[in-house]
């Protein structure tokens, strides 16, 4: 798991420091030593001048991580103590007036480092300075404590007209998780009128639904129709607030309570069931169950107050909320749903997006400082929108802050609505109708509106950014000069078009020429779905520059490093084939390379060992699906399960020798490039170059592995779009 990138910090309670990451998520560092809690191995004071601190914890500076804390210590030693003898450093660094013992400090550091006391800080080489700083860290004390994310939570308390708690009231708490799953917590308010605590992990909109009584009836059924029961299907949203950090939990030792609270909101299916637990027997010693059900620490609470009885004679009043919405943040839930049945038929998981507010010709994130998000498996984007706001989506690399030129699927959150659904159908072929990109109202039921819109190949084309030569120069500025020049020539329009290919000659660092070729087939998907792409000239002008310059940079740099003579690109940007990586410009496919006069193809056939493994797995799957297996079939199934690991090993061992050294060299150089995060080829599958794990062998055992038996795929890193982590 990638460590959070902290941007600010502050002191917490009970020997703790609260860190905040770039997305606003808070983490508690508790226990351990002050040096560890502050990421400050030298316990530098808050007055230190390195400029690297992100906050203050106690009288000391707080740094985002240990390495930054070391960098700050190094800065202080070299800027303040550079000409100071080692045996005099701690008279000022740890003076006696601050209850330190500088003499003892000096002796310990000398013991740990073995450095001569007469030397100065400035005379130490890099290794010696590291050793000196390590000794300071050891003396100051570096003992790790506990790091945990501070959860977000929300609780409600219900009060009657008289201000007294309303107990025993049925309620439903609703919220959505970060992956779009709706969670529900059902229950009855306790004697204090409080609900359970909804733990949302990150900031989320939390709604409270309460019964809506018939006219003249109170929430407890004690009005004009005393004794009558409220229809459980008649409910109103009584409150909707954003969950808040649960500091009381974070500062308390309440792991069991958090587990209990999480369990109550853990899954939509489980939370739909109302528990009816029997009272535990009374004993002198509390049982484990009683301890686990201890009330959680005080959670953030929103108060909801009953507004009064509904008049029996006023029909119009039936629609009014029985509970005043003094804490309600009004708005409409807008959901954009994607359906690719008529287009690529592919899951759009990973598609970057951001929800924006539209004001004339400009857009701004609906939620302040909102980062680009990526579509999950559910193919839905859901956002609560304040009444009166017009919202839209920026998709793909158009979601990046510096672009955002094509807002799509715009709707307005009209007052009186509760839900808007925009059903977006991906539509293949060349029949592009721009008007159908605009949401068209197809159904209106009560407080819900349903729209339909289309996503064409031309839609993908229009919102995908076309990079300029200036942008290419900016994005590749840290690459070697020859690589920068080669990449610039692509966006400058230097490639030459012939009858069936596009070719580009680029100069290598040694002065020789390397040829890059795009076959006509590299653009076939675009010709099938984008009317504007009619020939190779239009492909050169409009498609090749839609690939991120860092993708070409990594490709060319690895080719230069191995002395390649020719490189064949089989696919770049495309709208309706494969995953979203090609559609957002971070994917590139390579068909072959030419080295030392020899052409090497990224292509292979299945081995006999892979065929045997596939046959074994097919037979095993057939038997596993059978509901009523015979004893002989059970025996056979167990045999297949026992044989499968060895069959996998044989398939893996058969593949490794098939990869030519030239191809392996090129792929290895790609993986060493900081811009590259994935490489998939006929022999190896590397899903994350940053995780230090070795690539897995491609044994053609799933769809992704089979897809890459004919080419090498490269994915480059794009942090803002959420790809390449």
Residues 228 and 83 in one domain: no
Q: What is the pLDDT of residues 645-698, one digit of tens each?
A: 999 999 999 998 999 999 999 999 999 998 899 999 999 999 988 877 889 999
Nearest to 115 by CA among 101, 134, 99, 98: 134
Residue 68 in contact with residue 55, Cβ under 8 Å? no
The upper half-sphere exposure of residue 402, i.e. CA atoms within 13 Å in the direction of its Cβ, equals: 6
pLDDT, tens digit (0-9, with 9 covering 90-100), for 63-119: 999 999 999 999 999 999 999 999 999 999 999 888 889 999 999 999 999 999 999
Q: Do 441 and 514 reside in the same domain of the chain?
A: no
- The Cα 124–Cα 661 span in angstroms is 45
Q: Give the Cβ contact number of residue 678 at 10 Å.
A: 22
Least confident of 42-51, 302-311, 594-603, 714-723: 302-311
Residue 465, Cα to own-chain centre: how many angstroms? 22
pLDDT, tens digit (0-9, with 9 covering 90-100), for 351-362: 999 999 999 989
Residue 429 and residue 529 in one domain: no
CATH of the domain at 77: 1.10.8
Q: Is residue 25 predicted with pLDDT exceeding 90? A: no
Using the predicted structure, report yes or no on whether residue 127 has a pLDDT greater than 70. Answer: yes
Among candidate residues 148, 179, 211, the one where a domain is terminated:
148
Residues 95 and 165 in one domain: no
Work out the pLDDT band at 331, boundaries 50, 70, 90. confident
The whole-number pLDDT of residue 283 equals 36
> What is the pLDDT, as a whole number, of residue 260?
42
DSSP code string of 537-572: HHHHHHTGGGS-HHHHHHHHHHHHHTT-SEEEEEE-
Strands (E), 457-547: 496-497, 501-507, 513-519
Residue 300 pLDDT > 70, yes or no? yes
> Of residues 235 and 398, which shows the higher confidence score?
398
CA dist list (Å): 460 to 432, 532, 574, 580, 723:
12, 12, 9, 11, 18
pLDDT tens profile 362-379? 999 999 888 899 898 678
Asked if residue 355 lies in contact with residue 375, where contact means CB atoms within 8 angstroms, the answer is no
Question: What per-residue confidence (pLDDT) applies to 200?
Answer: 85
Q: For residue 470, is it within any domain?
A: yes
585 part of a folded domain? yes
- The torsion of the CA quartet 318, 319, 324, 329, rounded to 10 degrees, works out to 170
Specify whether 300 is located in the same domain as 357.
Answer: no
- CATH number, domain containing residue 346: 2.60.40.10
CB 422 within 8 A of CB 383: no
Domain boundary among 462, 495, 521: 462
Instruction: Please say if the pLDDT value at position 277 is more than 50.
Output: no
Burial label for 58, CB within 10 Å (0-12, 13-18, 19+), is: middle
For residue range 177-202, list pLDDT tens digits in order. 877 778 899 999 999 999 999 988 77
Can you tell me the mean pLDDT for 131-141? Answer: 93
Mean pLDDT of 218-227: 43
The residue assigned the tokens 């929430």 is 219
pLDDT digits (tens, 9 = 90+) for 550-602: 999 999 999 999 999 999 999 999 999 988 999 999 999 999 999 999 999 99
Which residues lie across from 334 on neighbouring strands?
Answer: 383, 420
d(CA 632, CA 485): 68
- Flag whether pLDDT at 217 surpasses 70: no
Closest to 351 (Cα-Cα) out of 408, 305, 391? 408
Q: Could you tell me how far CA 698 lies from the centroid of its own chain?
A: 27
Examine residue 284 and state whether it is found in any structural domain, yes or no: no
For 254, the domain range is 152-272+295-319
- Position 273 scores a pLDDT of 32
pLDDT value at residue 723: 62
pLDDT-derived band of residue 212, with 50, 70 and 90 as boundaries?
A: low
83 within a domain of the structure (yes/no): yes
Do 458 and 521 have their domain in common? no
Going by DSSP bridges, is the β-strand pair 696-697/676-680 parallel, antiparallel, or unpaired?
unpaired
Instruction: Say what the pTM is.
Output: 0.60
Last residue of a domain, which of 148, 183, 216? 148
Residue 312: pLDDT over 50: no
Assess if residue 356 is contained within a domain: yes
For 666-686, what is the HEC assignment?
HHHHHHHCCCEEEEECCCEEE
Residue 487 in contact with residue 554, Cβ under 8 Å?
A: no
CA distance readout (Å), 404 to 334, 364, 372:
20, 9, 11
Give the span between the Cα atoms of 261 and 257, in whole angstroms.
6
Q: Are 476 and 383 in a shared domain?
A: no
pLDDT at 477 exceeding the cut of 50: yes
Q: DSSP states of 127-143 as a string?
A: HHHHHHHHHHHHHH---
Widest CA span in the chain: 97
Answer with the residue of higher pLDDT: 232 or 241. 241
Which pLDDT score, from 0 to 100, does residue 15 have? 81
Q: How far apart are CA 475 and CA 478, in angstroms?
A: 8
User: What are the strands, taking DSSP E only, across 495-631?
Assistant: 496-497, 501-507, 513-519, 566-571, 587-595, 598-601
237 and 361 co-located in one domain:
no
**Does one domain contain both 504 and 579?**
yes
Cα gap 328→239, rounded to integer Å: 5
Do 505 and 440 share a structural domain? no
Same domain, 156 and 141: no
**Predicted pLDDT at 239:** 85
CB atoms closer than 10 angstroms to residue 574: 26
CB 679 within 8 A of CB 588: no
Measured CA to CA, the distance from residue 29 to residue 142 in angstroms comes to 13
Nearest to 698 by CA among 672, 662, 674, 663: 663
Specify if 236 maps to a domain: yes
How high does pLDDT run on average in the chain?
A: 85
Q: Does residue 30 sit within a domain? A: yes
Q: Is residue 620 part of a domain?
A: no
Count how many domains the chain has. Answer: 4
**Do 415 and 310 share a structural domain?**
no
What is the rounded distance in angstroms from the CA atom of residue 213 to the CA atom of residue 166? 15
| pLDDT > 80? residue 227 | no
Average pLDDT estimate for 392-409: 95
3-state class (DSSP) for residue 250: helix
Task: Considering only residues 457 and 266, tell me which one the structure prediction assigns the higher pLDDT.
Answer: 457
């Amino acid at each position: 798991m990638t460590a959070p990138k902290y941007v600010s910090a502050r002191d917490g309670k009970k020997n703790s420091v609260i860190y905040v990451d770039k997305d606003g998520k808070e983490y508690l560092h508790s226990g351990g030593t002050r040096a560890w809690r502050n990421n400050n191995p030298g316990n530098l004071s808050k007055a230190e001048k390195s400029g690297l601190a992100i906050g203050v914890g106690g009288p000391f500076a707080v740094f985002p991580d240990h390495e930054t804390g070391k960098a700050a210590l190094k800065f202080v030693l070299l800027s303040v103590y550079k000409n100071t003898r080692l045996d005099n450093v701690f008279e000022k660094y740890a003076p006696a007036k601050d209850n330190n013992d500088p003499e003892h400090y000096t002796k310990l550091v000398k013991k740990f480092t073995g450095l001569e006391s007469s030397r100065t800080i400035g005379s130490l080489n890099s290794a010696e300075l590291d050793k000196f700083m390590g000794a300071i860290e050891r003396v100051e004390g570096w003992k790790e404590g506990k790091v945990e994310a501070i959860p977000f939570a929300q609780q409600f308390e219900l009060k009657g007209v008289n201000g007294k708690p309303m107990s025993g009231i049925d309620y439903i708490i609703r919220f959505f998780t970060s992956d779009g799953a709706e969670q529900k917590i059902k229950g009855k308010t306790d004697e204090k009128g409080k609900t359970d605590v909804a733990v949302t992990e990150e900031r989320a909109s939390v709604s409270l639904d309460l019964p809506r009584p018939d006219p003249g009836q109170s929430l407890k059924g004690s009005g004009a129709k005393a004794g009558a029961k409220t229809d459980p299907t008649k409910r109103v949203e009584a409150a909707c607030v954003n969950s808040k950090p649960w500091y009381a939990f974070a500062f308390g030792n309440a792991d069991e309570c958090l587990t209990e609270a999480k369990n109550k909101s853990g899954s939509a299916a489980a939370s739909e069931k109302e528990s009816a637990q029997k009272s535990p027997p009374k004993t002198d010693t509390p049982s484990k169950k009683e301890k686990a059900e201890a009330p959680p620490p005080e959670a953030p609470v929103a108060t909801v107050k009953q507004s009064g009885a509904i008049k029996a004679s006023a029909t119009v009043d039936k629609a009014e909320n029985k509970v005043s919405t003094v804490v309600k943040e009004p708005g409409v839930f807008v959901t954009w749903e994607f359906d690719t049945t008529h287009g690529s038929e592919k899951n759009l998981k990973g598609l970057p997006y951001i929800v924006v507010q539209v004001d004339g010709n400009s857009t701004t994130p609906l939620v302040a400082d909102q980062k680009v998000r990526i579509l999950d498996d559910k193919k839905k984007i859901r956002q609560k929108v304040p009444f009166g706001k017009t919202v839209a989506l920026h998709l793909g690399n158009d979601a990046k802050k510096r672009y955002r030129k094509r807002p799509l699927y715009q709707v307005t959150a009209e007052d009186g609505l509760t839900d808007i659904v925009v059903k977006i159908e991906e539509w293949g072929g060349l029949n592009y109708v721009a008007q159908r990109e605009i949401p068209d109202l197809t159904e209106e039921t009560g407080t819900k509106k349903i729209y339909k819109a289309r996503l064409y190949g031309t839609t993908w084309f229009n919102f995908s950014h076309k990079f300029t030569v200036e942008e290419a120069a900016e994005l590749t500025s840290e690459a070697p000069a020859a690589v920068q020049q080669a990449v610039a020539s692509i966006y400058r329009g230097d490639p030459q078009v012939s009858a069936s290919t596009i070719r580009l000659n680029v100069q290598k660092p040694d002065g020789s020429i390397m040829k890059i070729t795009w076959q006509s087939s590299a653009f076939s998907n675009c010709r099938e779905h984008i009317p504007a792409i009619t020939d190779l000239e239009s492909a050169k002008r409009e498609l090749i520059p839609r690939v991120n310059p860092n993708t070409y940079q990594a490709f060319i740099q690895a080719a230069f490093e191995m002395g390649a003579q020719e490189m064949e690109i089989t696919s770049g940007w495309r709208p309706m084939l494969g995953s979203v990586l090609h559609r957002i410009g971070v994917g590139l496919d390579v068909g072959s390379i030419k080295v030392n006069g020899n052409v090497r193809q990224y292509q292979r056939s299945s081995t006999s060992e892979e065929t045997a493994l596939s046959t074994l797995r097919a037979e095993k799957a057939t038997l596993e699906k059978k509901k009523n297996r015979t004893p002989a079939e059970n025996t056979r199934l167990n045999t297949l399960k026992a044989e499968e690991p060895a069959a996998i090993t044989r398939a893996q061992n058969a593949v490794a020798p098939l990869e030519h050294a030239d191809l392996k060299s090129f792929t290895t150089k790609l993986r060493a490039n900081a811009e590259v995060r994935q490489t998939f080829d006929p022999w190896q599958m590397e899903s994350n170059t940053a995780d230090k794990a070795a690539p897995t062998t491609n044994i053609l055992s799933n769809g992704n592995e089979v897809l890459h038996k004919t080419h090498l795929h490269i994915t480059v890193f794009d942090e803002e779009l959420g790809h390449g982590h």
